[in-house]
Chain A
Amino acid sequence: MRRSALNLIGLLVAAFAVFPVVWMVSTSFKSTPEIFSGGPVPFPRDPTFAHYRTILTGDLIPGVTFVDFFVNSVLVAVATVLVSGLVALLAATAVARFRFRLRTSFLVMLLVVQMIPLEALVIPLFLMIQRLGLYDTLASLVLTYVGFSLPFAVWMLRGFVAAVPVELEEAAAIDGASRAQIFRRILLPLVAPGLAATSIFSFIVAWNELIFALTFLNDQTRYTLPVAMTFFFGRDDTAWGPVMAASTILTIPVLVFFLIVQRRMVGGLAAGALKG
């Protein structure tokens, strides 16, 4: 196919992929009359922050604003990333660097548990959270999300650890480095992009999750952003300005996180290390 035809198809794909995001952001900056006039105007004629002001300053319930929900979500996501990243790195190192008896069984189990539909676990985990006395706490969500992000995080990190050439570690070992040193000085820096990618995955799991947060939280002041969104905005279908402003705020951390790491993932770090 001609290059120009390919480029045209590429632009169409890009437009399809990016359109809802553009539409969300642009609606959030349109004045209410402009939103109601409809029409495919991709950018606001007269940009306004009115919807953001409504969202950020208005109390959704007495004493609680959107910012409080944002903070709840950040706490949950960061705690999930830290715990899940650490546990996953240890396990990934074990499978990528050692041959041990139960290694294959572990990998198969990792594959199988990834296929467990988490939606099917809402009811038993609701029971577990109730009995642990964690119902209506953010900790219940951190616990749940670590469990959910872990199998894929290990699976993903295992590839990154395996991609670090063993020769580098062997060279270090010949030079007299201990296992701890090899881990810290050689493996960790080289696997850092993989760890970042994995963290992003865990972050997104925690940040976006709706069904468990919907089930485990009762007190409205503890709501995470997704629950707050469905609870406070899902019912009033006409206030699209504030809804899109809130959606933009929820979406942007995810997009930024993605873009930061995406660049670092592209370069073949390990290959560079061998050549250099």
Chain B
Amino acid sequence: MTTLADPELKPSRPAPAARAWRRGPGRLPYLLLLPCLVVIAALLLWPLGQVVVMSLYDLDSVRQVRGDRPWPFAGLANYREILSDPFFHTVLRNTVLFALANVVLTMVLGTLVGLLLHRLGRRMASFVGGCVLLAWATPALTGTITWKWIFDDTNGLVTWLFNALPDGLSTSLFGRSDWTGYGWFNSPLSFFAILTLVVVWHSFPFIAVSVLAGLKSLPGELLEAARVDGAGPWRSFWSVTFPLLRPVFGILVVLSTIWDFKVFTQQYVLAGGTQDRPTFMLSIYSYATAFSPPPKYGLGATVAVVLTVILLVVTGFYVRSLLKQEEL
């Protein structure tokens, strides 16, 4: 019998102490983490430092990026240049207002749909849930292309619908009756309205599904008790559901903020590239500065640093509050 000599078996003998994985972890967890740490360090942390370094140089050719040519040090000149540029202030304002509007709309719609899914009958819930999942699953790129087709100025559905309005009504409301050729994307305001529609359409499902998952994890007795005590839906949401799901909502708000601050694909597709400067937001501005000819990698990196700093501040607040209230 080798049983007694087998070192693998021995520690499991004292049954109460058998914490399966925890018998003297030693170096094992670090080994398991190593590949992950290497990937994160090389592909996220190093570039994060590098973007700061690049923002301090004047870089305007690929040869410099490759390291074949020297990098002229610019100090804070790039930062001075963008901070004194009125266009940068427009870009910053666009970004903040857009993110704010989208986070609020996405959270409200997503939460309402999550609550709705929780209340619906089983078959109806899985039907609606399935449809909502489809919107979530649809790639940002093709979803946006489809919305662009819906708002096409000649044959798009929206143009058709507006043309179908009685002429008198259309004229008195909007001052025009023929909508063929109307550029839905031409004015910044209507461009941002459509962009908001596209982004909210694409991101509310994630919120809804996450809120639903949270609701399902709540003990039903609590909501039942609130109802017995006479709380309406509004009261029981704010007094029972919301406090219990606060960590979930916290994560969702932060994730939405991050996503909506750096919208790129939807904007790139709706605007048809990087030409529509009045609607620029930080991420597309950074990209266009760096890669549209003439390339200015240093200046693009500077804009990227500003974007990152804003988001890291948001994240900082979030992580701090998370550490205060919850054990990881």
Contacts and interface: CB of A to CB of B under 8 A. Distances in A.
Interface of A: 1, 3, 6-7, 9-11, 13-18, 20-21, 23-24, 27, 35-40, 86-88, 90-91, 93-95, 97-100, 102-104, 106-109, 111-128, 130-131, 143-144, 146-148, 150-151, 154, 166, 169-170, 172-174, 176, 178-179, 182, 204, 207-208, 210-211, 215, 226, 229-230, 233-235, 237-238, 240, 243-244, 247-248, 250-251, 254-255, 257-259, 262
B122 to A, nearest CB: 11
A211 B290 CA distance: 13
A247 B156 contact: no
B131 A36 contact: no
Interface string B288-319: 00110000010011001101100110110011
Given A17-B134, A119-B286, A151-B40, A128 B328 contact: no
21 contacts: A13-B113, A13-B131, A20-B146, A20-B147, A38-B156, A39-B157, A91-B33, A99-B22, A109-B40, A127-B66, A127-B297, A147-B40, A148-B44, A151-B44, A210-B264, A211-B287, A229-B141, A238-B154, A240-B149, A251-B139, A258-B137
Determine the interface band of chain B, counting residues with CB < 8 A from chain A: 35 or more
B266 to A, nearest CB: 10
B268 interface: yes
B258 interface: yes
A240 B152 contact: yes
Q: Which 6 A-B pairs have the closest CB atoms?
A: A147-B43, A124-B50, A120-B304, A169-B20, A14-B131, A91-B36
A10 B65 contact: no
A121 B43 CA distance: 9
B75 interface: no
Q: Is the interface of A mostly helix, strand, loop or mixed?
A: helix
B21 A98 contact: yes
A178 B8 contact: yes
Interface string B223-257: 00000000001000000000000000000001000
Contacts of A107: 328
Nearest to B140: A208
Given A38-B156, A98-B28, A111-B315, A121 B51 contact: yes
Interface stretch (B11-19, B85-93, B170-178): B11-19
Nearest to B6: A176
Contacts of A237: 152, 272
Contacts of B82: none
Contact of B39 (A10, A37, A115, A147): A147
A73 B131 CA distance: 26
A215 B150 CA distance: 28
A100 B268 contact: no
B33 A17 contact: no
A86 B113 CA distance: 34
A134 B36 CA distance: 21
Contacts of A122: 286-287, 290-291, 304
B154 to A, nearest CB: 8
B86 to A, nearest CB: 23
B25 interface: yes
Given A1-B233, A98-B21, A115-B311, 17 more contacts: A9-B116, A27-B149, A38-B155, A39-B157, A40-B157, A40-B160, A98-B22, A106-B33, A116-B311, A120-B262, A123-B304, A127-B54, A154-B36, A207-B139, A211-B268, A229-B142, A240-B149
Interface in B97-153: 113, 116-117, 119-121, 124-125, 127-128, 130-143, 145-147, 149-150, 152
Given A119-B262, A124-B50, A210-B268, A20 B135 contact: yes
B40 A131 contact: no
A237 B140 CA distance: 18
Contact of B32 (A23, A94, A128, A215): A94
A1 B234 CA distance: 12
Nearest to B45: A113
B168 interface: no
Nearest to A226: B141
Nearest to B284: A119
Given A120-B283, A154-B36, A215-B291, A244 B149 contact: yes
A248 B134 CA distance: 13
A126 B65 contact: yes
A115 B134 contact: no
A127 B50 contact: yes
Nearest to B255: A114
A255 B134 contact: yes
Given A38-B157, A146-B39, A208-B139, A170 B19 contact: yes
A88 B304 CA distance: 28
Contacts of B138: 20-21, 251, 254-255
Interface in B38-87: 39-40, 42-48, 50-51, 54, 62, 65-67
A60 B300 CA distance: 32
Nearest to A235: B272
B265 interface: yes
B150 A91 contact: no
A115 B32 CA distance: 23
Nearest to A155: B251
Contact of A87 (B36, B156, B318): B36
A23 B20 contact: no
Nearest to A146: B39
Contacts of A13: 113, 116, 128, 131-132
